[in-house]
Structure 1
Amino acid sequence: MADLTLLGISGSLRAGSYNRKLLAEARARFAPARYLEGDLRLPLYDGDLEEREGVPEAVTRLTDQIAEADAIVIAAPEYNKGVTGVMKNALDWISRVPGFPLADKPTALISANAGRTGGETGQFMLRACLVPLRPSVLEYPTVMVAGASEHFDAEDRLVTESYAKALDAVMAKLRERAGG
């Protein structure tokens, strides 16, 4: 069913990040669907800025994409045992938009990290940060690619069968939750 819309969000801004690669793999496994990619290049949340200028246009674009999406997949690395700054900043801005744009949105969390846990602590923290925004986050299956450099080939494809199967399962569950 190609009439679903999937929003992909990377918690890493780096073009060559393993989470961007994992997000591309997730998109392919969710297909067919219209795909939107959220941009987390947002100003740092500042209440004075918000009071002076309102919610920035880039935040409004992101929340419009959230509203348009039938499902969301967030690929976010773990930085220093936690959620990335750009991810937390985006959630802080999203919380300032009236109407809870993430409320009840089927959402999958995936991660790829250089370390041996694959971003487990970062995913745990991200789940906690999402609670007040009320998305419908998949609890299981989980995808946490550990030692990420060993699991993608030269064409940026996920090549390790166990991780590929887990990603297939997550995206199938996400599609099911989205009504597809």
Structure 2
Amino acid sequence: MFVNYKIENSMKIINCKLKINSKAFTLIELLITIGIIAVVSTVAFLNLFSYRGNQDLDLTSREIAIILRNAQDRSISQELSSRYGIHFENSVSSGGFYDLFSGTTYATGTIISKNSLRPAIQFSDPTSGNSKDVIFTPVSGLPNASTTIIISLKRDASISKTIIVNTNGQIQY
């Protein structure tokens, strides 16, 4: 920045330019920088939040597929000479859970493991207050019926994953 000074020296006016070094930031520069940082941070945080929810959804669908395969493998190998199945329940009071059980039905069977959905995840199918069972036949490992399980994010139910158990025993997610 330059500042003009007039120096009067015996009838002569001399214009001098003095250079002033400015090594500090102005208030406007600071406010603009803080604003840009705030916008970038907000966008990054929202993307991270969305990414985390999608990761929870992917992980939960994989866990459900793994426990379905576990029940199918136990039925094929006739472990404990029993059928195995998974009970999916969308409880109104306690949220969603899925249990690995042995026996002909969930009600009369023995629960082997209990699994709850992550806090950010919910069942879309079975619907609230309902349940579904997938029971595998011994030796063949075929399910009692073709079944579809849908899980979604609680904050946005349109973001979902579908787990399908076909009548031929194939598990897709």
* TM-score bucket of the superposed structures, by smaller chain: under 0.3
Task: Report which of the two has the higher share of strand.
Answer: 2
TM-score, scaled to structure 1? 0.22
Higher relative contact order (CA 8 A, sep 6+): 1
Structure 2 length-normalised TM: 0.22
More helix by share: 1
